[in-house]
Amino acid sequence: MHIKNESGHDLYNLVLSGSGFSEKIEELKDGTTTTIELFQPGESSLDLKFTANGKDFDLPQDTYFEGGGAYTVFVKIGKNFEVDVRVEI
């Protein structure tokens, strides 16, 4: 999973979770991208939680991917904290 921050703000305590996984990134600075490997079993959606600009955000995403390494997930957090998720097989 690739996570890119283009929000204009640093993100703190970013938690990406779904069915069978939860990954925490302490800080993701504005303009940076990080990559994490997920080892979730089966099918999942994605929930993002983070703190930015003094506010807490909980942004569940209507997306679908599966474990097993066949799916690559790209997450972009943009201006106004809008989230774009793209899944490739």
Q: Where are the domains of the chain?
A: 2-88
Number of C-beta neighbours around residue 14 at 10 A: 22
The pTM of the full predicted model, rounded to 2 decimals, is 0.89
Grade residue 77 by pLDDT with cuts at 50, 70 and 90: very high
The predicted-structure confidence for 15-72, as pLDDT tens digits, reads as follows: 999 888 899 999 999 999 999 988 777 888 899 999 999 999 999 888 888 877 788 8
CATH 2.60.40.2890 fits 2-88, yes or no: yes
Contact 17, 64 (CB under 8 A): no
Q: Give me the amino acid identity at 2.
A: H
DSSP state of 81: G
